[in-house]
Chains A and B, each alone.
Chain A
Amino acid sequence: MQALLSFDRAPPFGAPLRFFLTAPAFAVLAGLLLLWSGPDLFASRWTPEALALTHLLTAGFMLQTMLGALFQLLPVVAGANMVRPLFVARLVHVALTVGTLALVAGFLTYEPLAFRFAVLFLGAGATLFIAAAGHALHGIPATSPTIRGLRLALIGLAVTVAFGLLLAASLGWSLALPLAQLTDIHLGWGFVAWGCALLAAVGYVVVPMFQLTPSYPGWFGKHFARFVLGVAAVWTVADLAGWTLPSAVLSAAVVLCAAAFAVVTLSIQWRSKRAKLDPTQVYWRVAMFSALAACALWLAASAIPALAGWQGWPLLFAALLLLGGFMSVIVGMLYKIVPFLVWLHLQNLGRGRVLAPNMKKVLAETHMRKQMYAHFAAVVLFLGAVVWPQGLAYPAGAALVLANGWLVRNLLAALGVYRRHLVQIAAVLDVPLAGAL
Chain B
Amino acid sequence: MEKKNVKVIDARNMEPPEPFVLTMEALDQIGPDESLLLLLTREPHPLYRALEVNGFTYKTERTPEGVVEITIWHKA
Contact = CB atoms under 8 A, between A and B. Distances in A.
Contacts of A210: 15-16
A6 B51 CA distance: 11
B16 A273 contact: no
B3 interface: no
B41 interface: yes
A208 interface: yes
Given A209-B15, A210-B15, A340-B16, A5 B50 contact: yes
B16 A209 contact: yes
B17 A340 contact: yes
Given A1-B54, A2-B54, A4-B53, A208 B16 contact: no
A4, A210, A359 pick with most chain B CB within 10 angstroms: A4
Interface residues on A, range: 10 to 19
Given A1-B27, A208-B41, A209-B42, A6 B49 contact: yes
A57 B7 CA distance: 50
A83 B14 CA distance: 34
A4 B49 contact: yes
B24 interface: yes
A208 B49 CA distance: 22
Contact of A273 (B13, B28, B49, B54): B13
Contacts of A121: none
A3 B28 CA distance: 10
Interface in A1-39: 1-6, 8
Contacts of A347: 17
B59 interface: no
B64 interface: no
Nearest to B28: A1
Contact of B46 (A6, A208, A212, A359): A6
A382 interface: no
A252 B24 CA distance: 51
Interface string B38-74: 0001100110011001100000000000000000000
A103 B33 CA distance: 65
A314 B22 CA distance: 50
A216 interface: no
Contact of B54 (A3, A209, A212, A215): A3
Contacts of A1: 24, 27-28, 54
A4 B50 contact: yes
A343 interface: yes
Contacts of A212: 13, 15
Contacts of A340: 16-17
A344 interface: yes
A347 B24 CA distance: 12
Interface in A202-226: 208-210, 212, 215
A208 B66 CA distance: 14
Contacts of B54: 1-4
B73 to A, nearest CB: 15
A435 to B, nearest CB: 22
A8 B17 contact: no
A133 B48 CA distance: 26
A344 B42 CA distance: 19
A359 B17 contact: yes
Contacts of A344: 17
B46 to A, nearest CB: 4
Interface string B8-19: 000001011100
A6 B45 contact: yes
Nearest to A209: B16
Interface in A327-348: 340, 343-344, 347
Given A212-B13, A343-B17, A344-B17, A2 B45 contact: no
A249 B28 CA distance: 61
Contact of B42 (A2, A208, A273): A208
Nearest to A280: B15
Given A209-B16, A209-B42, A343-B17, 15 more contacts: A1-B27, A2-B53, A3-B20, A3-B50, A3-B54, A4-B50, A4-B54, A5-B20, A6-B45, A6-B46, A8-B49, A76-B46, A212-B13, A212-B15, A215-B41
9 contacts: A1-B27, A1-B54, A3-B54, A208-B42, A209-B42, A212-B13, A215-B41, A273-B13, A343-B17
The 8 closest A-B pairs by CB, nearest first: A6-B46, A3-B24, A5-B46, A4-B50, A273-B13, A4-B53, A1-B28, A1-B24
Interface of B: 13, 15-17, 20, 24, 27-28, 41-42, 45-46, 49-50, 53-54
